[in-house]
Amino acid sequence: MERTRTLMILAAALANATACVGSPYDDATPAAKAAAKVAAKATPDANAVANAPEFVRVPESVGEVDALVREARARAEAESRRLVVYVGASWCEPCQRFHEAVERGELDGALANVRFLEFDADRHTPALDAAGYGGRLIPRFAVPGGDGRGTEAKIEGGPKGDAAVPQILRRLEQLLAT
C-alpha cells in the first residue's frame, strides 16, 4: 500500500516537473515538441506528396491516342507537371518493380512533378503504334510532342530483378533532361 502511494506521488511529481520545463511562454511543453518532431518525420511533407510522381491510367477503350495525349499534356502543364507516356503490362516484372517503387514514394525526389500517362501494351498497342509510340520492349517511356504524337525521345525495356528500378531511373532521368 505504501509502495503504491509512493509511486503515485513520484508519478505526479514527474508529471509536474515535465509540465514546468521551459518558458511559460512556449506554445508547447518539451514533450509536445518532441512528439511534434516525431510526427513531422513520420508525416510526409505536403509539398513532397503534392509533387510526387503519379500514374494516370488510360481507359481500356481509347480513341485517338494523340488527341488524348494532347489533352493530358495541357492538363499536366497547367498543374506544373511534366507528362511522360508510359507503356507497361501487368505481367512485366520491370514494369511492376518500377510501378511499385513509385507508389511506395521511393522516387518522389528524382521524379518530382512527373505524371505518367499509363497505357497497357496488351490493350493499346495498335493505337500507340498509330500515334508514334510504338516499340519493341516494355516498359516504354516517351516524351510526347506538342501535337500529342510520339517523338524520338523515348526509352524501352529494363532488366529483371533488383537492377530494374535503378537502371530505369537512370535512363529516365536522362530522358527527362532532354
pLDDT tens per residue, range 23-71:
232 344 443 333 333 333 334 445 556 899 999 999 988 889 999 999 9
Residues pairing with 2 in the sheet: none
Q: For residue 19, is pLDDT > 60?
A: no
**pLDDT tens string 87-144:** 999 999 999 999 999 999 999 999 999 999 999 999 999 999 999 999 999 999 999 9
The residue behind cell 513520420 is 42
Q: Torsion-angle region of residue 84: left (phi > 0), alpha (psi -120 to 50) or beta?
A: beta
pLDDT of residue 62: 83
pLDDT of residue 70: 97
Better-scored residue on pLDDT, 78 or 9: 78
Q: Kindly report the pTM of this predicted structure.
A: 0.73
pLDDT of residue 48: 55
pLDDT of residue 50: 81
Are 112 and 51 in contact by the 8 Å Cβ rule? The answer is yes
Sheet holding 82-88, edge to edge: 54-57, 114-120, 82-88, 140-144, 150-156
Rounded CA separation 168/127 (Å): 24
Instruction: Please give the average per-residue pLDDT across 2-18, as a whole number.
Output: 41
- Its CATH class, for the domain covering 51-176, is alpha beta
Rounded CA separation 163/57 (Å): 25
**pLDDT tens string 139-162:** 999 999 999 999 999 999 999 999
Boundaries of every domain in the chain = 2-42, 51-176
